[in-house]
Amino acid sequence: MAALPSRMTAIGIKAPGGPEMLAPEERPVPAPGADEILVKVAAAGVNRPDVMQRQGLYPPPPGAPDIPGLEIAGEVVALGADAKRWKLGDRVMALVVGGGYAEYCLAQADHALPVGSLSMVEAAAVPETFMTVWHNVFERGALQAGETLLVHGGSSGIGTAAIQLGKAFGARVIVTAGSAEKCKACRKLGADLAINYKTEDFVAATKAATGDKGADVILDMVGGDYIARNYEAACVEGRIVQIAFQGGPKATVNYMRLMLKRLHHTGSTLRSRSNADKGALARAVEDKALPLLAAGKVKPVIFKTFPLHEAAQAHALMESSAHIGKIVLTL
């Protein structure tokens, strides 16, 4: 392999603020620690937490790079002493703690997955998204075949993955989305019912679709006034899993519903989890979801790609919420 350069282009955050605060800058190429691999990035997924980090609302954990980017795909170009699974030249996709918007990025060796038959752009849209969905819908939410899953933000990267995985594992899937076009896209992916939340009440629609029973599992990235409404839309023994608070983290809720329906309201964030936790999650996704991706039964939905130096435009698109599926940076 050619010798590695000492410097690389990465996208820095000049100061907390709008998309224009993202700008290419020169950084040293990082060296892998004992249990890390260095990946020459071919593509990097863009996620809401990246936007929040740029706004100054989601600082990287201690020791993480300040460069945004939580999922990458590319080629292994250097190995730590203990990174036994991979070899130079392997094509991998990985969940990373930061640093994805760059020509080179470090990953924990056991947070990486084989790319297989996916394109690099598709592969870059998998790790953060599929691990988030697997952990929250199937591990925390314990979704079972025959149950009803309600997904808020069905046309987002997370939503499009949740629809497909929910259906693949035998659940009935209901989604909310903000336009007729987005609802149509969700149905095309397999959603049994798509509710336009701007014109319909998702509580009433969910109840009507389930014979007044309600949803067994609700995946919520909105929070705010959705919290109380989720309690109404959930069935007895329903599980509500919180993964973000785009509508705000505070709400006034009648908790009597929690008791009377014996609800479970849980939540999680991926970035701050231990390396061991993320490694276990990577293995679960490799075991359960990668075979579906390899067989073409589940596919990351790519809305648009941007070259790395246009990261600001990618963020502006994400904030407009005009996209359906994932936005990916390419190198």
Whether the predicted pLDDT of 320 surpasses 80? yes
| Structure tokens that stand for 140 in this block | 């925390």
pLDDT at 272: 87
Whether the predicted pLDDT of 2 surpasses 90? no
Residues 30/59, Cβ–Cβ less than 8 Å: no
Residue-wise pLDDT tens digits, 180-192: 999 999 999 999 9
Residue-wise pLDDT tens digits, 199-243: 999 999 999 999 999 999 999 999 999 999 999 999 999 999 999
Cβ contacts of residue 116 below 8 Å, gap of 6+? 290, 293, 294
Average pLDDT across the chain, whole number: 97
Q: Which residue has the higher pLDDT, 62 or 41?
A: 41
Q: What are the C-alpha distances in Å from 60 to residues 56, 68, 90, 181, 271?
A: 10, 8, 28, 35, 8
Domains of the chain in sequence order: 7-126+271-330 (3.90.180.10), 130-267 (3.40.50.720)
pLDDT at 175: 98
| 236: Cα within 13 Å, side-chain hemisphere | 3
Whether the predicted pLDDT of 1 surpasses 70? no
Partners of 264 in the beta sheet? 239
With tokens 């945004």, the residue in question is: 68
Q: How many residues does the chain have?
A: 331
Q: What are the C-alpha distances in Å from 298 to residues 85, 142, 224?
A: 26, 20, 31
